[in-house]
Amino acid sequence: MSSKDDRSGRVPEWMVERLAAGDLPAAEARVVEQRLEREPEGPARLGRIMDSNAEMLTMHPPAAMAEAIRQRAKAADRRAAVSRPRRWLMIVPVLAVGAVGLVSALQSGPQPLGSDERIKGLAPSLHVYRRAGKSVERLADGAPARPGDQLQLAYVAAGRRYGAVVSLDGAGRITYHLPEGGGVAAALRANGEVALPQSYQLDAAPRFERFLIAASNAPFDTGVLADVLRGAAKPPAGTEISTFTVRKE
């Protein structure tokens, strides 16, 4: 955080990063969202950080990152015991505690929001990223894709508590991405962009792959979403629906 940010009223960078990571309480997140909306470049700042977070999750899965952090914490403790001067002994435990906290955050699943209030001006949405080698690109709705493309799905719950992510391919097959296998809607992390645990490889089904996110403040049965995607049923009562399509080439 810079003093310039404070004097100008600009949202500090560390606060935007916490918002993008879903690390702010709901009420504070709403305030930060509103402040960013009033900044000329505020929404773009948030979008860049969310894109960067999604790329990091795609290239460095949480489980692998968590194990790496554990090993670094252990190595730091060993070095401290063997070679650090006495004045460092109070600092190393703090670093270890911080690492443990980060491990917990990486491994924790979606958490329900403590309030049923929604983030003003935001609707639940899906972001779709494609990985090609070491690079990751965010796709636009309707973008072309090919069989074998590795896609990473991420959602923005916008304050809703429960949700599901489902896809329909050109051959009529349905895949439940969240929760896997369908059933009752999953608890969502309320703030920021959240990548799904598993990436998704496009098969050879023709024409398109259409993704749908349904979100609500109350649990609902995801079984009807297959028919919603096919246009044969209405969404469950109280849910908000957003879709994303990639065109098969």
Pairwise CA distance, residues 177 & 80, whole Å: 44
pTM as predicted:
0.55
| Residue 51 CB coordination number (10 Å) | 18
> Distances from the Cα of 46 to the Cαs of 50, 69, 232, in angstroms?
6, 26, 37
Q: pLDDT-derived band of residue 140, with 50, 70 and 90 as boundaries?
A: very high
Three-state DSSP at 109 gives coil
Provide CB contacts within 8 A for 78, sequence distance 6+. none
DSSP 118: P
Q: Crossing angle of helices 42-59/13-20, nearest 10°? A: 50
| Residue 109 CB coordination number (10 Å) | 8
| Residue 156 CB coordination number (10 Å) | 26
Amino acid at 12: P
Least confident of 24-33, 140-149, 216-225: 24-33
Choice between 199 and 69, residue whose per-residue pLDDT is larger: 199
Choice between 123 and 75, residue whose per-residue pLDDT is larger: 123
Q: Determine the pLDDT at residue 116.
A: 36
* Maximum CA extent, the chain: 70
Q: Please, what is the average pLDDT of the chain?
A: 75
Could you read off the pLDDT of 38-62 as tens digits, one per residue? 888 878 888 787 766 666 655 555 5
